Structure 1
Amino acid sequence: MIESSEPRRLGVPVSEARLRFEAERREAGGGPGRRLLVVDGEPAFELSFWCGTCPFLFRRLETARQTLSLESVRERLTGTPAGPDVDGVIETFGALLPEGEYLPVPLRVEPRLVVPGREGDYFSGEQVATWGLDQFWGLPEYPHTSYYRTFETAVDASAHLYEFVVPMVPPTWNARERVEEYVELMGRGTVPTAVAVSTLDVCEPALDLSADHYRHWGLTHFLLDGHHKLEAAATTGRPVQLLSLLALGEGLAGPEDCARLPALRARPPSARPTPSSPKEPR
């Protein structure tokens, strides 16, 4: 089994990292613009806006066309690595990332594939209940990708944790034969391992004008390896092991919130009760 560990220093200089986090600068006025996840020099995802009062977000961009799977560790990730293999996997994937502090968090997930706008979509469900529809478009936020929901639980009476696994490319791009290989392996009891770089964003509207006002903790795992495994697990209803490398300082959450994640993630899952009716505008 993968054991829990303390934060560790991983990564390479930003200029050498295949994946990095960036904040665009606004023209002529200063202030930060979009937060981005960049892969091989191309913006791959737009992330939650820096203010923390806008809705939580991951939005796939047109230039997100590249996965980061590594053939050198493929065999070790067919099952659940243990002992020295774990450190080797962490260091190998850490070399794709910008130098910084990362918290390795081992998770067992049972993914459920969600299509935006359909049943179970966070962006048109729980998020709308708190922020409402986008005031300009009159529509929910749209992530431009299918994604996996894996876990949620109450943080406290005024906060709720939602967990997402986000593929770098759509599941429809997966090789069918690879997915079937993992379906067969899982049918024999194998629990393969996926690897992700993760961020925690804590977002809350500035004003309480909604049916259900509270802080949304969005734990997002961007897949480095495991696209076929996650689809196979979602198809068969079986678990996978997910090794999350939580990028400390890259999300919209303080160190104390990030430190709580392993304990929160160990709780039984629980959904937030559905609000009864919206509040009157103030």
Structure 2
Amino acid sequence: MLIEWGEPRGLGVPESTARLNFTEERREAANRPGRRVLALDGDPAFELSFWCGTCPLLFRRLDGSRQTFSMESERESPTGAPAAPAGTEDRIDEGLVDRFGALLPAGTYVPVLLSVEPRLVVPGREGDYFSDEQVATWGVDQFWGLPEYPHTPYYRTFETPVDASAHFYEFVVPMVPPPWNERERVEQYVERMGRGTVPAAVAVSTLDVCEPGSGSPADHYRHWGLTHFLLDGHHRLEAAATAGRPVRLLSLLALDAGLSGSEEHARLPGLRARPRADRVPSTD
């Protein structure tokens, strides 16, 4: 559910001092662009969809994705249990926008507040976008003979048709995989959610629009991928997926960093305000 869609604004710090950067990796050949990556403290943390826009949608975890930006330790009660996270109201928390915006490279961002019910997906298993919807459109990798592999479990939160030739998919990608989470803390959040607590999480997000360039795939259409890279709230997302409960997600959507333009950005609020479709139907 879309709660609030903010106005575009300038956020971030100079690229040289930003802890997170959307950038191009060093080129392997002079006539070929380097990989498009999300870097953390200068180290590639995720490989993103390739620049061409005709390659498959991608968020592949790399060696640099080893830490979160969690504020949970600042919100513990005297007993050591997680206190109620801030920012659970039905409005954008400007304090969180400023705090997490300071981690990002200078650019134009849209603060978005969502209510999501995350579903944890393990690559190669039931519900995996890369083994299912993506293969239906692009087929398997022609060299490896396998689907793309993101090297991390991730969360699916929303799908809807865009129009007859495009579908919208939303993902929440943890900076560290859920098995790294502390079991006791996850269980504490599960218990609190059972009593009605709706915790909050924060992410920086990109919109990539990708479409096969040629060939005759079984299900040819454009894939709109709204990918939220989770900065704060790793235990809360896993707990919500375990309990089947919602969380508030504050997204800082980086308009300058995705494979998309102003026309796609203008359509996002309307798309995200639609009811959730559990599965986008095939166009066959």
Kindly indicate whether residue 30 of structure 2 is the aligned counterpart of residue 22 of structure 1: no
The one-character-per-residue Cα deviations of 1:175-194 (angstroms, maximum 9, x if unpaired) are 11211121121111111110
The one-character-per-residue Cα deviations of 1:64-116 (angstroms, maximum 9, x if unpaired) are 11111235874673461466x81111001100111110001111100000000
Q: Which amino acid aligns with 1:53?
A: T
Q: TM-score, normalised by structure 1?
A: 0.92
- Name 1:238's counterpart in structure 2: 245
Kindly indicate whether residue 282 of structure 2 is the aligned counterpart of residue 274 of structure 1: yes
SS in 2 for 1:130: helix
Q: Which amino acid aligns with 1:185?
A: R
Distance 1:66 1:210 in 2: 38
Name the CA shift for 1:46/1:73 in 2 (closer, same or farther; >3 Å). Answer: same
Give, in angstroms, the shift of residue 257 of structure 1. 0.7
Name the CA shift for 1:71/1:230 in 2 (closer, same or farther; >3 Å). Answer: closer
Kindly indicate whether residue 121 of structure 2 is the aligned counterpart of residue 114 of structure 1: yes
Count matched residues: 275
Q: Which amino acid aligns with 2:280?
A: R
SS in 1 for 2:238: helix
The one-character-per-residue Cα deviations of 1:226-271 (angstroms, maximum 9, x if unpaired) are 1000000000000000011000110100022122212100001223
The equivalences for 1:1-282 within 5 A come to: 3-70=4-71, 74=75, 77-78=85-86, 80-81=88-89, 86-270=93-277, 271-274=279-282
Distance 1:73 1:105 in 2: 24
Distance 1:82 1:261 in 2: 19
Q: Which amino acid aligns with 1:26?
A: R
Note if contact 2:68-2:232 (Cα within 8 Å) is conserved in structure 1. yes
Give, in angstroms, the shift of residue 41 of structure 1. 1.8
Distance 2:73 2:99 in 1: 9
Give, in angstroms, the shift of residue 136 of structure 1. 0.4
Question: After TM superposition, what 4+ stretches of structure 1 lie above 4 angstroms from structure 2?
Answer: 71-76
The CA RMSD over aligned residues, in Å, is 1.9
Note if contact 2:84-2:199 (Cα within 8 Å) is conserved in structure 1. no
Distance 1:5 1:65 in 2: 30
Distance 1:218 1:105 in 2: 16
Q: Which amino acid aligns with 2:223?
A: H
> Which piece of structure 1 moves more, 22-31 or 92-101?
22-31
Distance 2:135 2:44 in 1: 26
Give, in angstroms, the shift of residue 128 of structure 1. 0.3
SS in 2 for 1:205: coil
Q: TM-score, normalised by structure 2?
A: 0.92
